Structure 1
Amino acid sequence: MEQVRALLLDLSGVLYVGGEALPGAIEAVQRAQAAGLPIRLITNTTREPRAAIIDKLAGLGFGFESAQLTTAPSAIRERLESESRSPLLLVHPALEPEFEGVPTGDPDVVVLGDMGAAFDYAVLNRAFRVLMEGAPLWVMGTNRYFREADGLSLDIGPFVRALEYAADLKAENFGKPDARLFHAAIADLDLPPEQVLMVGDDVSGDVDGARAAGLTACLVRTGKYQDGDEQRAQHRGAGLADRLADIVDALLS
């Protein structure tokens, strides 16, 4: 990893799980920061606005600024405004402030985030009807599942696939593994992508996405990692580590 000059970190499963920081993660971040190693953050988390995520990280003991974090909701809001779109917003209630001021009457696009317990037949059927009228489907990720404090939980991907199948269309993904989100996250670093190491716990979203975007990648055996994931990651040319602290130790040694 001698060519690595910056880190791009996933959040859940790399820095924390549920409401607790992962062992060694806080200290690893502090060591990297003290050494002057730039860190950027990227996430498909769509249950919290960016400010709340930064506050949550601070509460866990991490010191990051909002400018270091790139999210799918922020990318979608920029696109909505640039195209003067009126969305059917299907997002978690906690995320609604992220879209404050965006007009939502007579929707011409369906925006789908992780609604958690608010996902039900009526919600999906309303989205289906708008899609059948010709609206595109913009989504904040296609992950299959993630890890919460009490175990694995369904993520947004299964609901995206249901709507794609029903309306016979292809969603436009604004989250990982889309290369645009990775490039947006590291744009201010002024480094070639291969000199940025993406660290994640998800082979499809983190490793595959980063490699397709030209970044170096490493899978950690924390978070949603499952036995056998290492074969898929290494097939993509990615590294493997037990936890973030081991990666930082290797980079700074």
Structure 2
Amino acid sequence: MDLPSHPRALLIDLAGVLHVGSRAVAGAADALARARAAGLRTVFVTNTTRTPRRVLCAQMNALGFPMQENELVTAPSAAVRLVRARGWRPHWLVHPDLAAEVGPGDAAPDTVVMGDAGPYFDYAQLNAAFRLIHAGARFVAMARNRSFREEDGLSLDMGAFVAGLEYSTGVTAEITGKPAPAFFAAALALAGVPASAAVMVGDDVRDDIGGAQACGIAGMLVRTGKYAPGDERHAGIRPAAVVDDFAAAVRRLLAGG
């Protein structure tokens, strides 16, 4: 898939693209300002499922990336929309920090909704979810990411726990975050552009680039965050471009691809 010659919107991953842990990626804040000054609509997309949107926005603003909640699409917000739209009764298996954003669970749940509880994952919580799914509850997972990059190295993401419950129950989870088509559709709707006029910039060749390109959105892979040498040679996914970092992505786009 080729880059559009005149893109109108950027879909931008957060962790690994704009920042790694508490450190902004060099040049990323200035590049974001240049992209906006050039008239590109920016929508921020993230599979982070431990942190509420208001906190994410505050953290990103503190790192030098001005953004508001209405510019941010997250896997938890997508999960909340899904559950409410379908009238399901959720049992939330999430990080405590996310509890206020998703709301209370139902006393008689018919759906297990799983986020990244991080250090709060324990046997009792996972076994309770297992029993609900085994008894017939639906299984929804906010993401299936394998890892994410922190300042001291790669860390285990929630995908391993999703796979564990799938293996034990025989039920495949419905994913609400990247690479789900509904997630990218929500981002395009927020940007107000068709897929052909947008570019996704991410560090995950499978969930960011593969997910976007399956929806007709050109994907630019950056060599920061969780990127590993050889990702650009993935057997089934060919990024529209591979660049060193977000600043290089913006320079290329503003130069006409």
* TM band (smaller chain): over 0.9
CA offsets 1:32-64 (integer angstroms, 9 cap, x no match):
111221111111000111111111110101111
Query: Partner of 2:234: helix, strand, or coil?
Result: helix
Find 1:42's aligned residue among 41, 45, 56: 45
SS of corresponding position for 1:105? coil
1:90 aligns with 2:93: yes
CA contact (8 A) 1:234 1:240 kept: no
SS at match of 1:137: strand
Aligned match for 1:136, one of 135, 138, 141: 138
Question: Contact conserved, 2:7 with 2:40, CA < 8 A, in 1?
Answer: no
RMSD: 1.4
Is residue 92–residue 105 contact of structure 2 (8 Å, CA) maintained in 1? no
Distance 1:172 1:11 in 2: 23
> For this pair of structures, how many residues does the alignment match?
252
Shift of 1:80: 2.1
Partner of 1:236: 238
Task: Tell me the secondary structure at the aligned position of residue 64 of structure 1.
Answer: coil
TM-score normalised per structure 1: 0.95
| Correspondences of 1:203-218 after superposition (within 5 Å) | 203-218=205-220
Who is 2:25 aligned against?
22
Give runs of aligned pairs for residues 118-129 of structure 1, distance below 5 A. Answer: 118-129=120-131
Q: What's 1:165 paired with?
A: 167
- Tell me, in whole angstroms, the C-alpha distance in 2 between the residues paired with 1:108 and 1:188: 30
Per-residue Cα deviation, 1:174-231 (whole angstroms, up to 9, x for no partner): 0111111011011133322021000000011101100111101010000000111011
Residue 52 of structure 1 pairs with residue 55 of structure 2:
yes
Segments of structure 2 that go 5 or more residues without pairing to the other structure are none
SS in 1 for 2:140: strand
* 1:13 maps to amino acid: G
Task: Name 1:247's counterpart in structure 2.
Answer: 249
- Contact 2:220–2:242 (CA under 8 A) maintained in structure 1: yes
Say if 2:92 and 2:112, in contact at 8 Å, map to a contact too: yes
Residue of structure 1 in register with 2:76 after alignment:
73
Question: Secondary structure of the residue that 1:52 maps to in structure 2?
Answer: helix
Deviation at 1:234, TM superposition (A): 8.8
Checking the alignment, whether the CA contact within 8 Å between 1:140 and 1:175 is kept in structure 2 is yes
The superposition leaves residues 74-114 of structure 1 with CA deviations (integer Å, 9 ceiling, x where unpaired) of 111122223333211110111111123x4421211101000
Instruction: Kindly state the Cα deviation for residue 3 of structure 1 after the two structures are TM-superposed.
Output: 3.4
**Structure 1 CA distance, aligned partners of 2:98 and 2:117?**
9
Is the deviation greater in 81-90 or in 114-123?
Answer: 81-90
Q: Counterpart in 2 of 1:222?
A: 224
Q: TM-score, normalised by structure 2?
A: 0.94
Is 1:207–1:233's contact at 8 Å kept on the other side of the alignment? no
1:252 offset after TM fit, Å?
1.9
